[in-house]
Amino acid sequence: MGLKFKKNSIAIIIPMYNEEVSASNCVDKVVKELSKIKNFTKLLAINDGSKDKTLEILNQKHKVYKNKVEVISYPKNKGYGHALSTGIKQAIKDGFEYYITMDSDLTNDPKYIHDFINAMSNKVDCVKASRYIDNGKVLNVPLFRRVVSIVGNNLAELFLGLGIKDYTNGFKMVRLSLLKGVKFKENNFSIILEEIYHLKKRGAKFAEIPNTLTVRKNSKSHFRYTPEIFYDYFKYLVLSLFA
């Protein structure tokens, strides 16, 4: 049935690090989708210590779109997790009810923003975009990454048991009231699992929408499979057993 929004509704949070190739197009496309939403929305672009022209581009977009785009920046790169938690804190401070986070390279299509809104309801607290439900797809992603993702998500469901298929996808919509007071610890991509851990502890209800994940075309991903990432992901699976 979708949401019945109050004055403040959705903050779109997009961490960016050295994204001068995609930053301008990303902001333009997101703001275009936000213009189709009747209630108040804003893009929070988090410049995570970029060394290229990302901040310059974001500041230019802020001048063009004014109150539709807010830029938060700090000089030193602190990682995806830190950037995301910074955006979440700001969205809570600004009084938003929900946030959606997506990647700046447009491998997550902004058109799905409307699907998130339609899937959210008073009985749902987190809507995840899923590559692994009906009508979900993965295009041109290397086989190794696909295998690791499928195995990891099956393992996550075994431990977490929340009835969803795509735990590790960072493209999602979350009710911000359930994150008030949460002090995130992870500065890397494992914040995705850390957030689910906290949401489960607070009794969150989950839903999914199908989405198609693509790969970057003109730049390289900042995500790397490392022993630290595997450890951190698995850590929250184990901790969730006691949540």
Q: DSSP letter string over 97-154? A: SEEEE--TTSSS-GGGHHHHHHH--TT-SEEEEESSSTT-EE-S--HHHHHHHHHHHH
Strand pairing report for 126-130 and 172-175: antiparallel
Tell me, what's the pLDDT at 8?
46
Tell me, what's the pLDDT at 183?
96
Asked if CATH classification 1.10.10.10 holds for the domain at 8-240, the reply, yes or no, is: no
The rounded distance, in Å, linking the Cα atoms of 45 and 40 is: 16
Please, are residues 202 and 227 in contact by the beta-carbon 8 Å criterion? no
Strand pairing report for 98-101 and 172-175: antiparallel
Domain spans, the chain: 8-240
pLDDT tens-digit readout, 86-110: 999 999 999 999 999 999 999 899 9
Stretches where the chain sits below pLDDT 70 are: 1-8, 216-224
> What pTM does this model have?
0.91
The chain-wide mean pLDDT, for the chain, equals 91
